[in-house]
Structure 1
């Protein structure tokens, strides 16, 4: 027991447990004394327990993981060994009957290896003994592993069987039962308490049976070792060489044998990647003549000793180590030891024959020297091209004394004397004994298990992992220390900064008062400062940065203290304002907004009634009230801050007003609200509260008409097309929101108004009363429903169709297969059909009732049964929603299919729109080609059909009809303008541009021919008008314009041209001419006469009778001249001559003209040489060519 306790005390696991206990005790006892500043992280019991449990848990988890991995590898190894007991080789067929027995025995071996304490014999004991066993127990994987390598028959198995080691299975099944275990690997596994010995098949060494198969199995075996013992696959290799192989083989055979062993050792080194010691066992030493006789008197203990030599580690590992010299030296020492013991052995042996054999053993041993030395050198000699495992030592053993001995001494003598050899005689030593094995294995080889190196790659991986782990641990510790130090200093600065803020905030709080809404701007900064006092130095107490944490953060304590001060400040500054605001809301509630008054009164009373206190409702009312009364310049950020302060004031507690309740105000407000009916009060509340909940059901043309709605529809008011009817007043809004809430709201509102309005409700509403009230509320809702939809539909129009392309596009979309108009009509019919006809909410009963009503209506139409029809109408009207359906009956009929036709009226309208679209396309094609559009009555028929449709379809269809006609006409007019510009405009501009009489100051005249070509009857202007504009221009309008309106600048050119034609081409003349009467009026007294010669037509005046004279232009003279001359009393003359086709007009341009008695008359006054005279000029038409504004106003036809 003492030895076991000492062994346990040396166990690593024991000290780990002791260390954990000591660490836990230190944490528990010393932890409360550890402080960082004023903070003691391990002061609390819970904190210490958490740390202790965490450390123990990590250690236990690591130990569990390591044991689990070891157990898993051990189990996998056993399973791999156990997995294939069947022997596929033909040479092992005779063992088949024993396969099942060996499997069962291997299972038992595996069970024993998992339960027996490996390393020392099992003993009985108490609980302490079992605990020691559990703590010192090792797995098969943890024992040293050795492999036996040797040629077939080299004595590997014999040496193991007779080694004297303890095998767990031998106690239960006998020593022979261990053979064959692991046969699928073609090797024997020997499990001892000290090590695992692997006896490989001899063919693995020589590859003599099947070279490829033997080589694959050998490397597979090495791979198995590498897989399950990655760190150290083997602790050593035992190379067996039998005396018979050394002495009985030729030199060539020994060389081949040595090369095979050398190659196997090289493969062992290369495949496993480790440097492991090799122990050479020269087996069957008993085959040396005299061996049995020489060692016959050895006792059991003496037979277990080591007979051989071990090379010193320092010498064998030194550079330039001479293996053969060291071998010879050590071998000679063994030989000398044999010789030294001869006298004593010879004197003690009475038998002469045996004495001779004893005497011959040293010589036999000496004869083995050269052969064995050469063999060892061939196997282990140094090579620059391959790494060899080091030779640890050479040892001679004998497992049993069987076989024929080799007498090399007598054989040499007989060969020398040429005496016939005598056949070798087999040993006759009764009962085999084991020589020189047990101590070699148990005391020497097993104790040197640590000499084997580990896989360098495995160690490198472990070293990298360990270095990384320790580095990470050191980094974590450094980070933890750094974090604690940094957190301590930051929190210290943070606390100091918060503390420094307190006096200033206290002073600001004392100096701040809030008595009205204007003061709120001054109170907000103070409240913000108090609320954020713990947020100093950019620290958020609710979510501090990691650099402030590490278990040392003080913000939560500071925030708690700040919250207390903050709530007191809210009560002092904000609560009075809020209470006054709610009171003012009640006092100033608009008389026409009962919902507002009710909500304000309800919020006001909550401050005096804790049973009905609702902080969210109060906050909402205050938010609405504050918006219009905030000071000018109040920013959005300030509004958000105010909302946050109000929420903090009322949330989380019941707040009461600091002022007495104004009972008179409450009474007046209640009286005003009670003047409304119950239904009115409830409906205005529902309409206000349910509207947000129904927002998802908002209806507008974009949703109802589809993706093309924006291309077809617009709002006349200019509002967005996406802004339509609020969802509360839609089909889904009614059935999914309003209808579901109204019945419940009746009872709830009745209870609520008991304390809001002070109404006395002694008992709950009866079902009949509640239903009546609900229907009254619905009636108000339906009134709004119809009004909202009427307003929206009246504002809906078709898109702008001022051009032919726009009108064509709208017509195309409206008449398409997926017509937006059709979709809108269907959606609209759905929205305004509230009667539950087939509505799932009303079940099959309503559907059956509808069928019954339909049948009765049909009978009434057939038999004229007024009572039946009346009854049916009454049944329909029994539904409260029928008022909406009746109001919009026209819309529903537009999309409904009756029994006489398969298509709904809307389908016929779509067809008529399609006809308009076809017409517009045809007109567009014709007009593009310069032809007149084909005649069509499609727009007129559409307008006629529009008169039978409801709003808004009537307005839309009329718009489309007008646009179709107007756009075609507009394009036609535009084509006319373009034609006129092309056919007339260019010549016109060349002929008159900058020429007289159109440009009065110009010296260049319009030629009479060009003037006639343009303006004469049948001329360019007149001809174009008669052919192209006659039916398109309204000549009754002043000024002229196209029949469809517009085009005034263009049409005015032709209007002016017509006036010019009528003025200058009287009587449909082809050449321009002017006929006027000239009558002298007065003359300067110093003049004797003046003479006007108009191309041979002379008008003379000499203070005589003032008789008018008619002249024509051009005159008969053909000179195209007009001459005006005066003569004074002395006979001197003065005057001027004007030449050109427009000389007469140019002459009068030099006069000062004044109006006469009519438009056809003018007074022309001339002044020559400071002498003046006047004449009266009268045209033969009211269109006076000398005062004709159309001349100057005329412009050539051109595109605008």
Structure 2
């Protein structure tokens, strides 16, 4: 069985398909509102959204109402209530706790999916029925055997018959179709305790009225037992009918509404012959309705009681008509006798039943018409087959003759019910909406209906008035339009006939017609509804728009065609002639019409050729008219140009290389694009104050916007292939060139042109940024205070200098060789040209970039300028200053010039000339003092230790190595204290400035060697030895498939692929170095070392070839006669693996 929600989805889908396919066929006043796909999608989406919102609102309202019902049904404690009323309220409250969130399944199917009322419902939404009857009338038995489904039976139970006394209290039966309220029999008869029973009855009615104020009940089921009907005498029957009439009257009075009433004759199985007649019926026959249903008008008028007797006679006559057939089908004589008696039994019930119906439901006076019960039908039912059958005929005859009555054998319970299931499901529940609403609700609906009718009539009158006003206004507009057209007609019918191509004379006529069309199309009426019905504004707008279009296609297009002709006849620039030839072809060939390209060309031609130039207002107006002309689609100029002129222009253009045309088109495109120039001022106001141009005064030059990363990525990379392909495709119809033999040839020609243009663009790109850096320098400070402030700004990690360098690197890093695509290959030369700067600002494996250490040099300069910076220890300050200078010489511009300029302002005071570092101590004595200070530590760490002794197995630790040579360590400290101010370290070799300084040449060279070791291993002020090495593969033997070099956990691999550089840091995370090649060489063992100096031990076996740069060298790895070569570049000032100062270093002698 399909789910209800699936029906809803299918319904929405069907509606959407209907709107999509049938929507364009709907026209209103000649307009198809659903012609566009967007409108149809919007309508379908709006319908689906409205349906969803309705479902959500209905669900929320149902939950709210159900919660309200449960809250109202929860009884408040009444101190003076009777025990009976208190017990009723207690049971009712317990049931509500279970039913607060219970949902009941309704009818499934399509309508179930579209309406909340027929889907799964809350307690409030189900119809409610009350069952009343005397004790023992069989109300509970009828419900239990009705075939209804009780979804909450497991929680609330199904209930049971409580003996001959009937149900003691009110029972609530919650089925999936309705709520059935089985009242205690004594509530009907008030025979137990009249006062208590009446109070409990009124309390029960109060609960219903509070629970469902709009419609407390949907109907009433009145149960009358056959045994009571047969056993009552005339007085008892009249009394029982009066009691039923009174209870129904009280019910309708208390609830304030008329309810449909269904009279159920229960325990029909006790009639003699009933079970014998109907026991052979199948399930469908036993479920049918047996009784009579009255017409609704008769029920409402109280005339149903008058129709009962004829209807019951027809019922008994139909049963008697089938008597012969039923007797023939029965073989048991005793059963046949009982079957034969059943029609007489029913006829015997006619008189008491008619009396009961007339007295309980009949219209006794005309004044009772509005208050009498609305009897909908009388039905015979049977719930069980227990008890002794009643033979009304034999009982009456025996009483008349004084004979003893013979007791008939009791019925055997067959477990079957008769004439109940369809009665409730298809008659009673199907008429749930017949019950009216409460008077207050009914009055509210009547007032709402009246208000709606008044609103509709008012709207009709207002709409008619608006239409009349709209018609009169349309007449006025037509007259006004006629006068305006008469005023502008000379401009339209007699446009200027200039022979040149200046469009300005056309502007008055074009502006007049456009304003007239826009006034009719865009100006709203006095009221939006005035344009409905008889309004002629749309027709007048269409007429004026057509006149404006004729102006565009006539005079304006003719002027454009004459301008193109002038360009082709004249000696214009070859690129301009190409565009003119292309525009001429587009105007005369709709297959190649391009509105955007044609608009750009015409606008450019107006700007460049008209004399005097167009005023800004004139240009804006002409561009708007041109856009209106071209936006309508392909247009034909109707102008023809001398074929000889076209051939001459084509011959001239075909002599130009395709790449030139692509470059020209690219330059024009970048010129019109809004790419911002790269300037120092764009980095912030502080940057404009720090940097100047090469002349030292003006602002630095800017990089044109067409050479920025944004232009390259968003413009050039996408545009160049497209321009090349477009020009290649245009060549046939613009230049008349022969078409390529196939698509592959055309694509190859296009890609070659694109590659050539990109190569030229890359060269210009690199040149623009090189010129920018060459022109850039740091403003020279005017004094010490300005220098201090400048050093503070330049040394900030996020300051102007760092931001500038990072921005330059980002702008010049267009790609790497590892990236795929032509665009990435185009970026390689630009990137490599600025490779050193990129490595300078890029973080290494330790997360720090060389730039970070360089920026700290500015802080050191500020420290030297401090009040005690230079006066405290002049030698140490001089050493620090020299180291800053040495590091700065290896830095890129403009950092190099800035550091050297600021360092030049910091000079330590000269020491007293002629004084020796140790007073009057001589040279040999000084050497002994140096040996005493440095000798013990040096002799402990250097001799017999690697890397000083290349054959040693013992290694000096990196920490001990730093104790000797790090900045401020042993050698650096002694030299700074005693000799820095007396030695000129700016020349090679170092020389002593003061002849009085007693420093031995061997000691001076030893300090110089220690300084060179410091500069190589402790660059940027590092406290531990560290190197940053860049490996770039150069060549590898063909016999090697894969080469791998692992350095301290960092892998460098090469497999005859792209020559990609790899940067590693020493020391790395894991100590060790090894080489592996694939396939392995037979008999060869790949070298592998461990320890902190493993990389140096590995390079001891590598052939190294020097280059022109001291920090760059060629390393050749040889494994079993197979070679792989790399270019290695160190961030230090020299080659750390072939450093003579390290291999020849000796310690000073001492005690």
TM over 0.5: no
Q: Shorter-chain-normalised TM-score: which range?
A: 0.3 to 0.5
TM-score by length of 1: 0.40
